[in-house]
Amino acid sequence: MTTSIVKIENLSHRYSLDWAIRDINFEISPRGVLGLLGSNGAGKSTTMNILCGVLNQTEGNVFIDGIDTRLHPEQAKRKLGFLPQHAPLHLDLNVDEYLTYCAHIRDVPAKKVRMAVAEVKNKCGISHFSKRLLSNLSGGYKQRVGIAQAIIHHPLLVVLDEPTNGLDPNQILEVRKLIKEISEERSVLFSTHILSEVQATCKEIRMIEGGRMVFADTMEAFNNYIMPNSVLIYLNNPPSIETLSRLPDITSAEPLSDGGLRLHFKGSQKNISGMIIEASISNGWQLSEIMLEKSSLDEIFAQLSNHKKPA
């Protein structure tokens, strides 16, 4: 019995002379949401297009439920559902017409099509829009229809490319909830360049940068990796930079253009905050504000790609 639905081995692809991805390796478990994170142009779309059979890789192998996607592409594609960044909707059809069409092209047996359409409409919360033209749906509901077409044939794997892109905050929360519900029954590969989306939705993360895999672990391990190592403080009666730099566990201090100060530290962020508050009270620095400074996604990518070492 296989312990993974997808296995990607030494996957590489190049366009002309340039490698888009190089030696990508990872597996996807039978349940849950795996986040594929990377900046724009990192190689996420190339990886997904190969996985979904849109591209033939230059090198390497992809197996879906043990099926080699290059040797048996039709069999492999039956195992997956795909929602690209721009949902493939026929806007002149209503919801029922479109999902019925999708069920047929996904080879759902004719006598089960009506039941399959009703099931995904209910799961995706679009039953009340059955006769509504797709062109008249909001962005959030169009995305729900896009997800419905991706799961109508009960695939083992659902691949979602930037599924919350362009949605308002309420729609994003609704789509996140739907994705989590779907992941209870099958595997979901969630691709995005937005760190907060991965943190809110995924249990595991694979990060691609510059065409290479730079991080592969649980979301908890990733969050521990990117823990803040600097704090911003504002003092009404600040001491010298040298004085602040000599505080316990402070590795460096620098002034900010808005009058604040950035302190880089080592050790526990809770201990650092307490130490700064106590030092301010003892020395009359009159602390007015303190906040941890989170790393930007670009900085995280740079650290993981060894372009810059963490402080």
> What's the pLDDT tens digit per position in 53-85?
989 999 999 999 999 999 999 999 999 999 988
Under the banding of pLDDT at 50, 70 and 90, the label for residue 298 is: low
Asked if domains 6-225 and 230-294 share a fold, the reply is no
Contacts of 119 (CB under 8 A, 6+ apart): none
pLDDT at 87: 86
> What's the pLDDT tens digit per position in 22-63?
999 999 999 999 999 888 888 998 999 999 998 999 999 999
**pLDDT > 90? residue 157:** yes
CATH dotted code for 6-225: 3.40.50.300
Query: Is residue 19 within a helix (H) or strand (E), and if so which, with residue range?
Result: strand 18-28
CATH dotted code for 230-294: 3.30.70
**Residue whose entry in the numeric block shows the structure tokens 């007015």:** 288
pLDDT at 258: 87
**pLDDT > 60? residue 306:** no
**pLDDT > 50? residue 308:** no
Contacts of 50 (CB under 8 A, 6+ apart): 11, 13, 56, 57, 62, 69
- Within 10 angstroms of residue 246's Cβ, the number of other Cβ atoms is 11
Buried b (16+ CB within 10 A) or exposed e, 275-297: bbeebbeeeebebeebeeeebeb
In the chain, where the domains are located? 6-225, 230-294
> What's the pLDDT tens digit per position in 102-132?
999 999 999 999 999 999 999 999 999 999 9
pLDDT at 118: 97
> pLDDT over 70 for what percent of the chain?
92
What DSSP line would sit under 25-38, residue for residue?
EEEE-SSEEEEEE-
